[in-house]
Amino acid sequence: MPRRITVCLIILLGALSPSCLLALQAAKPLLPDIRQLMREVQEHQKQLDHIRENYTYSSLRTIQEMDGNGHVKKTETSEFEDFFVNGHVVEHEVKKNGQLLNEQDQQKETGRVTKLVEKAQKTPRDQPLEGPSISISRVLEIMDVRNPRREDYRGVPAIVFDFVGRKDAKTHGLAEDASKKLQGTIWIDETDRQVAHLEVSFNDNFRVVGGLIATVQKGSSFRFNQAPVNGEIWLPTGGEGTIQVRMLLVKNLRQHFSERDYDYKRFKVETQQPKDAQILRSK
């Protein structure tokens, strides 16, 4: 071995002494247990629910109906004013295809939203306002978690892991049954313990009521994003997805949908907030 290489090896080995290795390990903390991490995510979200109710924001939703070749046949847009009631998001539609709702449609929408607010006030925070739902803990029981790692996302540290539904998992209900057909990746902001980005897709066809009503086709997917607002709360920034469904065994429906969330507004003064109304920081 040439002397120069030998000297370099000696210097390198000396630098990597046990004390130096321990210092390097301390500089890169071990990845947290994924189940514990997700419990922290859930708990942090509960802590911030009362702050979210001080915020409104606007959302623009676009739905494009596609033909069999992927060409756009029809495009519809809806604009909403979103707000929170008892931890539940309520959407109030204000525009359809760029036009303000007419007087009759406004009255119908006001009636719908009024009923939804009343329902939200009576529905516990941990229960869905509409449609089926599934808890984070239950999702983790159905999913296999793979490849946990640490990455930078939007310039800040994130805990990232992949997941895939277990085909042999015993499930009950629509949401749990669908979870067995999913795979994806999730990015968790390491400091705030919030979901920053989520990508999910169906890795198999999912038949609703045995496929007699509808079958969600393999490859249907969506993405979801959140970001911090005013340094105190995380709110949605948007998402997109593509879904292909076979309806009643005879009709195929293909749609691309996207949502952009913006114009966040705080409408209550700070003095109305509990003293502990703040983002929980990890230790």
Q: From CA 235, how far away is CA 228, in angstroms rounded?
A: 6
Is it the case that residue 272 has pLDDT exceeding 60? no
Give pLDDT, residue 128.
78
Percent with pLDDT over 70 in the chain: 80
Give pLDDT, residue 231.
85
Asked if 80 and 94 count as a contact pair (C-beta separation under 8 A), the reply is yes
Asked if 72 and 65 count as a contact pair (C-beta separation under 8 A), the reply is yes
- Give the domain ranges of the chain: 32-78+131-272
Mean pLDDT of 139-160: 90
Closest CA to 268 of 102, 119, 116, 52: 52
Can you give the C-alpha Rg of the chain in angstroms?
Answer: 24
The DSSP call for residue 67 is -
Exposure string over 262-281, b if 16+ CB within 10 A, otherwise e: eebeeeeeeeeeeeeeebbe
Proportion of the chain in helix, strand, coil states, percent, rounded to 5: 30, 45, 30
The DSSP call for residue 55 is E
**Half-sphere exposure in the Cβ direction for 21 (13 Å, CA):** 6
Asked if 152 and 158 count as a contact pair (C-beta separation under 8 A), the reply is yes
Paired strand residues for 235 = 227
Helices (H), 71-158: 103-122, 136-142
Least confident of 106-110, 130-134, 182-186: 130-134
Mean pLDDT of 193-211: 86
Give pTM, 2 decimals. 0.79
